Amino acid sequence: MIERESLMTLSDGIRSEVPMSFTLFPGTRRTLALESLAGLSVGDALGAQYFVPGIKPADLLDARVPEPPWEWTDDTEQACCLVATLAEGDFDRDAFAALLADRFEPYRGYGPGAVVMLREIREGLPWPIAAAAAFNGQGSCGNGAAMRAAPLGAWHADSLAHAATQGVRAAEVTHAHPEGIAGGVAVSVAAAYAAAARLNGHRPDPGRLLLAAAAHTAPSVVRDGLTTSVRGGVAEAAERLGNGGQATAQDTVPFALWVADRYLDDFPAAVAACVVAGGDVDTTAAIAGGVVAAYTGLDGIPGDWLAHREPLPAWLAAASGDQSAGG
């Protein structure tokens, strides 16, 4: 557990380092969200390639990538639904639930619990009931709320507090368990912090992004992971924090955000770290990729990686009113 005093001190430090005095116009918010989505989707699609037999993680360290097309998975599909829902004011949970249920394609790698829940919502069950009933009434602590959250945070680059409160709203549509919600909040805040740093033109010191996320995340295993000291490299981080192998928020989010913090200005290195760590690679790479791209923008994503990724769904470009959404 992080101590109250140190948390307050760290929060003060975060505030002074990222004053966030700028004004964000709707078009800027949308651009930030779409660029985060681009990073999320490339991380997801490339990460998913390493579940294909014969494709070796070590090749990526030598900048050798799999043959296209790289198909995106449930992480990207849900994030597209989220981006299509983004608008001024509180996040529209009813619209988001309806989109998730309407657009979901089960073969995209959804977990069994998500398939059941989204089918129930599609058939008319209100989302609060479907979410609360999941996992015998405990609610889901899966990493689904976290995997889609980065563009929401980028949209709220002017306020970590808003990124946190809206992160709760977006998570609760499918995740009623406190850990599942904490995972979504932590990723949303991390992406907001990354986008704010981009706008401020200042690369945060290592560890700052993790502390910002922790400062706005409720006490939880997820938050404990964000404040766990990792002195070594990727292997130690995965060993101590988990690599998403259990597909829970707790064993996914701390590692993915550790990667984003460490490689905030190096998108290829962030994705490679997730790939070599193994586990739920498409999701750790989607989270790290979405947060890192909130900092680097599209320029940080290799052009051939973007080109190799399966195009984003055409309905997203129509819904977001921006043709660049498909790019």
| 248 assigned binding-site residue | no
Distance CA 122, CA 102 (A): 6
Q: How far is the CB of 71 from Mg ion (least distance, A)?
A: 10
Q: How far is the CB of 109 from Mg ion (least distance, A)?
A: 4
My answer on whether omega of the bond before 69 falls inside 30° of 0, hence cis, is: yes
> Which residues, including other chains, have CB under 8 Å from residue 307's CB and lie 6 or more apart?
68
Amino acid at 149: A
Place of tokens 């790698």: 109
Distance CA 1, CA 243 (A): 21
Residues 146-205 that bind Mg ion (CB under 5 A): none
Distance CA 177, CA 194 (A): 26
**71 close to 45: Cβ distance less than 8 angstroms:** yes
Place of tokens 């770290």: 273
Binding mask 236-265 for Mg ion (x = CB under 5 A): ------------------------------
Q: How far is the CB of 223 from Mg ion (least distance, A)?
A: 24
Q: Which stretch binds Mg ion (CB under 5 A): 74-82, 87-95, 98-106, 217-225?
A: 74-82
Q: Which stretch binds Mg ion (CB under 5 A): 71-79, 90-98, 168-176, 242-250?
A: 71-79
**50 close to 57: Cβ distance less than 8 angstroms:** yes
Measured from the CB atom, is 74 or 158 closer to Mg ion?
74
Binding status of residue 77 toward Mg ion by CB under 5 A:
no
Residue in 35, 75, 158, 251 binding Mg ion, rule: CB under 5 A: 75
Distance CA 185, CA 172 (A): 10
Measured from the CB atom, is 146 or 317 closer to Mg ion?
146
**153 close to 188: Cβ distance less than 8 angstroms:** yes
Measured from the CB atom, is 10 or 170 closer to Mg ion?
170
Distance CA 39, CA 264 (A): 12
Q: Which stretch binds Mg ion (CB under 5 A): 106-114, 156-164, 177-185, 225-233?
A: 106-114
Closest residue by Cα to residue 263 from 313, 311, 210, 316: 210
Binding mask 108-147 for Mg ion (x = CB under 5 A): -x--------------------------------------
| 158 assigned binding-site residue | no
Q: How far is the CB of 238 from Mg ion (least distance, A)?
A: 18
Size of the site for Mg ion (CB under 5 A): 5
Binding mask 267-286 for Mg ion (x = CB under 5 A): ---------------x----
Distance CA 180, CA 186 (A): 10
Q: How far is the CB of 142 from Mg ion (least distance, A)?
A: 11
Q: Whole-angstrom distance between the N-terminal and C-terminal Cα of the chain?
A: 42
Measured from the CB atom, is 79 or 152 closer to Mg ion?
79
Closest residue by Cα to residue 33 from 144, 140, 217, 170: 170
Q: By the criterion CB under 5 A, which residues form the site for Mg ion?
A: 73-75, 109, 282
Residues of each annotated binding site for Mg(2+): 73-75, 280, 282-283
- Which residues belong to the annotated binding site? 73-75, 280, 282-283
